[in-house]
Structure 1
Amino acid sequence: MTLTISEWLFYLESRTIHFPFSTFFSSGFASVLQCLNLPVLSEEKCKSVYGEITKNMFCAGFDKGGKDACQGDSGGPVVCGGQLKGVVSFGVNCDEPDHPGVYTEVCRYTEWIKSTIAKN
């Protein structure tokens, strides 16, 4: 599967992202890659939880928690509409209520990505 790197930001709260993740269980990592759809939250809501959220980040998750990226998923892709939108960054534990996951906004790094690929 080929993904296009998005050059557009998430502007609308309630957009949905899709990403594969590994999920860590008490018995270890899942043997099959998992996928999840999460609602994207407003910058204000994200800042109310974490305080320092830059323009290079966005948050996604359910208020009740229950589903999220977990240990081992950092660096994994976040996809929306067949385009790479983000990279799994951090959160509080796994699927913690009222603590959405934080993701890197890939479009902020498009020129750096293209430049790095061209050099290699």
Structure 2
Amino acid sequence: DPGPSLFAGDFPNILQCAYLHLVPREECDRAYPGQITPNMVCAGDEKHGKDSCQGDSGGPLVCGDRLRGLVSWGNIPCGSKEKPGVYTDVCRYGHWIRKTIQAN
């Protein structure tokens, strides 16, 4: 159950899953002033303090049956209620992804 932690170098042997909420852009901008670009989306669980953490980079943020983002970066300690995780917004790269797949 991903929650608040400091990186200790120990990784679970079982795949972890957390139910997160997309965070409005304004909240994300307030949490990380000047650091959020249009190619980023934030998500977290402010009620329970769950989030992605070290070792999760590149992992999926899924909404329903659609890939929404890829784990990029966030705050340490992980799972801070005030600082959501930051994800690459794959919706912004749809055209490039399709073009790259077709070319290969």
One fold, TM greater than 0.5? Answer: yes
- Aligned counterpart, 2:83: 99
The 8 Å contact of residues 56 and 104 in structure 1, kept in 2 or not, is answered as yes
Shift of 1:27: 6.3
- In structure 2, stretches of 5+ residues that fail to align are none
Specify the SS of the correspondent of 1:28: coil
* Alignment equivalent of 2:71, drawn from 88, 96, 102: 88
- Aligned counterpart, 1:49: 31
Higher strand share: 1
The 8 Å contact of residues 19 and 45 in structure 2, kept in 1 or not, is answered as no
Count of aligned pairs: 98
Specify the SS of the correspondent of 2:50: coil
The 8 Å contact of residues 64 and 98 in structure 1, kept in 2 or not, is answered as no
Normalization by structure 2: what TM-score?
A: 0.83
Alpha-carbon distance between aligned partners in 2 of 1:103 and 1:43, rounded to the nearest angstrom: 12
Alpha-carbon distance between aligned partners in 1 of 2:100 and 2:6, rounded to the nearest angstrom: 32
- Aligned counterpart, 1:66: 49
Q: Are residues 25 and 44 of structure 1, via their aligned partners in 2, closer, same or farther at CA, if it must alter by over 3 Å? A: closer
Specify the SS of the correspondent of 2:67: strand
* Alignment equivalent of 1:79, drawn from 44, 54, 62: 62
Specify the SS of the correspondent of 1:34: coil
Specify the SS of the correspondent of 1:33: coil
Q: 1:18-33 residue pairs with structure 2 within 5 A?
A: 26=8, 28-33=10-15
